[in-house]
Amino acid sequence: MIVFENVTKHYKSNIGLDDVSVRINKGEFVFLVGPSGAGKSTFVKLILKEIDANKGKIKVRGEDVTKFSNRQIPKLRRNVGIVFQDFRLLPKKTVYENVAFAMEIIHQSPRTIKRQVPQVLSLVGVGTKAQKYPNELSAGEQQRVAIARAIVNNPKILIADEPTGNLDPETAWEIMQLLELINMRGTTILMVTHAKDIVDRMNKRVIAIEKGRIVRDDIGTYGFEEALAKMEVTMDTLQHRRQFNEKLKKGDL
Amino acid sequence: MFRRFFYTIKQAFLQVFRNRAMSVASIFAITAMLLILGLFFVIVININTAATMIRQDYDSIEVFLLDTTPKEQADTMITSLKGEAGVEDVTYRTKEEAMTELKTRWGDSGYLLDSLASNPLPNSIVIKINSLEAADDIAAKAAALDGIEDVKYYKETVDKLMSATRFVQLAAIVIMIFLIIVSVVVVSNTIKLTVFNRAREISIMKYVGATNWFIRGPFLAEGIIIGLFSAGISVGISAFVYEKVVDLIGKDVFAVLSTPMVPVDFLTYNLVWIFAALGVSIGACGSIISMRKFLDA
């Protein structure tokens, strides 16, 4: 779905990405983590061709976006849904209009729009709020609308840029469940985040970037210490189980 | 295609309405510019008609005959003058005809001429010329004829008038171009404010995959709508004011320049097209210029 081949992006004064190669497969749910300024935003901007790489190839759905002309960018973005930390809903449009607008852009017929928008709104759980304006909704609901807008055109890829950054832990977790649901329906999801607890709890593939390089790419938790911590827990559990088994054998229980 | 067109128009009207304050500000700005332009247009078009009328009046040489010169001698003169190059027509005008013409020209004040005891105007020969270049020669030949009192020929007056007219026209065109540039700048700044208000909206549209023309369309239509509104208002105001002006001083202008002012209907008809075209292009240019920066990103 998304392939980076030796991608380097230098800014005037610092490095964005340095010789990064990575492959994100169809249907995957991937976390992109790392400290601020590590290159996460650069990674996302390169996929959307907001900026151009200095070196390397970036393939999105098999097509090399580094070779795309400016006129092809809209087409690329229609295949990649995006959700932001600050929701970015249009304040003067209703929830319904905010989602319908994404379909109007690709010239869907009014009939299709009328059919599909309510479906998507109820899928993300704000079916009853269609006629409300964004400022009448809670942060979690606004993010749901933003997700509805991102997926209404059935993109194969959904990029979520810190989607839980403005939400309390409980709401954040609800949004994660929604994203997982979308992932299970076949959409590849790339989520940029700082939220350790969420990454740990989801137990998905994690790509960690630091100073423009990928420092870790495996399934599991946010960081190395956490991984160790988790291993201790696991060893504890194993020890307990061993003791339990021994007790069982001895007939102490 | 149609769907897209209607989407654009609908969005444009929504935008105009939702950004009422800005739209009204833009409309005021364009209307003001159009009114100033209209003022110049009115002046220029009136000077033009006056100039044409005056030229028509004066592109002839009048040969005044002595009262003692008989009609037969005048006829011989006419025949010989008709043979000259650059002469279009030669006619004989009796003193009575000259008096009637003068009365018409004086219009309402014509009655003053009735008090004259005898007609002081001479019989004359009127030579219509078709090229001003030949005028000097013809005038000289006419002056050499016997039995004439004077040759009246207005070349210098006409020349002076024409160069004055040309100067005024040129000045007006320069000022109009300047005003158009100023109004495009003013409008693009006003629309830039509305675009700036929606910079976020534009960036979201780009993220969702809208093409530049899709984004530009409603803004362009918005500019055009604003331009058309301004044009309508300007036409209304100018027609109204011009009508009043014609009512007030039209007769005086006629008395002084002996040419009528351009009729209100004719002017209004022209202004509708000119203002509509200008309003639309100012609005469209304004919005395209103001959006450039936001679409480049």
**B42-85 pLDDT tens trace:** 888 888 777 777 776 667 787 888 887 788 888 888 887 777 77
**A185, part of any domain:** yes
Q: Are residues B188 and B232 in the same domain?
A: yes
| Min Cα separation B203/chain A (Å) | 9
Q: Are residues B172 and B290 in the same domain?
A: yes
Task: Flag if B207 and A90 touch (Cβ within 8 Å).
Answer: no
Burial of B282 (0-12, 13-18, 19+ CB in 10 A): buried
**B122, part of any domain:** yes
**B183, part of any domain:** yes
Q: What is the pTM for the complete model shown?
A: 0.64
Task: Flag if B211 and A82 touch (Cβ within 8 Å).
Answer: no
**B61, part of any domain:** no
H helices of B59-126, in order, are 71-82, 95-106, 111-114
Sheet containing B87-93, strands listed edge to edge, beginning at the edge strand earlier in sequence = B87-93, B124-129, B60-65, B148-153
The answer to whether A164 and A83 have CB atoms below 8 angstroms apart is no
Distance in angstroms (rounded) separating the CA atoms of residues A150 and A91: 17
**Domain span including residue B256:** 2-55+159-296
**A121, part of any domain:** yes
Q: Are residues B135 and B254 in the same domain?
A: no
User: B257 pLDDT band (50/70/90 cuts)?
Assistant: low
Q: Are residues A51 and A138 in the same domain?
A: no
Q: Are residues B50 and B173 in the same domain?
A: yes
**pLDDT for A63-83, tens place per residue?**
999 999 888 888 888 889 999
Q: Please, which residues bridge with residue B129 across strands?
A: B87
**pLDDT for B5-38, tens place per residue?**
787 888 788 877 877 877 888 888 888 888 888 8
Which residue ranges of chain A lie beneath pLDDT 50? 228
**B152, part of any domain:** no
Domain count, chain A: 3
**B153, part of any domain:** no
Parallel, antiparallel, or unpaired for β A29-33 and A204-210? Answer: parallel
Burial of B226 (0-12, 13-18, 19+ CB in 10 A): buried
Percent of chain B surpassing pLDDT 90: 1
Q: Are residues B141 and B42 in the same domain?
A: no
The answer to whether A190 and A24 have CB atoms below 8 angstroms apart is yes
- For position A235, what pLDDT does the model report? 54
Q: Of B124, B146, B168, which residue is a domain's last?
A: B146
**DSSP 8-class letter at B153:** E
Q: Are residues B178 and B286 in the same domain?
A: yes
Distances (CA, A) of A91 to A66, A133, A166, B47, B198: 34, 7, 17, 54, 10
B164 touching chain A per CB within 8 A: no
Residue type, B186: V
User: B122 pLDDT band (50/70/90 cuts)?
Assistant: confident
Q: Are residues A163 and A62 in the same domain?
A: yes
Contacts of B15 in chain A (CB under 8 A): none
Closest CA in chain A for residue B214: A105
Q: Of B146, B173, B198, which residue is a domain's last?
A: B146
ipTM: 0.73
**B154, part of any domain:** no
Which residues have CB under 8 Å from A180's CB, separation 6+? A29, A202
**B151, part of any domain:** no
Q: Are residues B210 and B288 in the same domain?
A: yes
Q: Are residues A25 and A61 in the same domain?
A: yes
- For position B206, what pLDDT does the model report? 85
**Domain span including residue A102:** 94-149
**B93, part of any domain:** yes
Q: Are residues B77 and B29 in the same domain?
A: no
Query: Average pLDDT for residues B254-265, to the nearest whole number?
Result: 70
Distance in angstroms (rounded) separating the CA atoms of residues A58 and A65: 6
Q: Are residues A58 and A172 in the same domain?
A: yes
Q: Of B146, B179, B208, which residue is a domain's last?
A: B146
Residue A10's CATH number? 3.40.50.300
Domain count, chain B: 2
| A194 SS3 class | coil
| Min Cα separation A105/chain B (Å) | 6
Closest CA in chain B for residue A50: B297
Query: Average pLDDT for residues B104-126, to the nearest whole number?
Result: 77
**A236, part of any domain:** yes
Q: Are residues A115 and A240 in the same domain?
A: no
Long-range contacts of B265-272 (CB under 8 A, 24+ apart): B267/B42, B267/B45, B267/B238, B267/B239, B267/B242, B268/B235, B268/B238, B268/B239, B268/B242, B270/B45, B271/B38, B271/B41, B271/B234, B271/B235, B271/B238, B271/B239, B272/B231, B272/B235
Distance in angstroms (rounded) separating the CA atoms of residues A156 and A77: 11
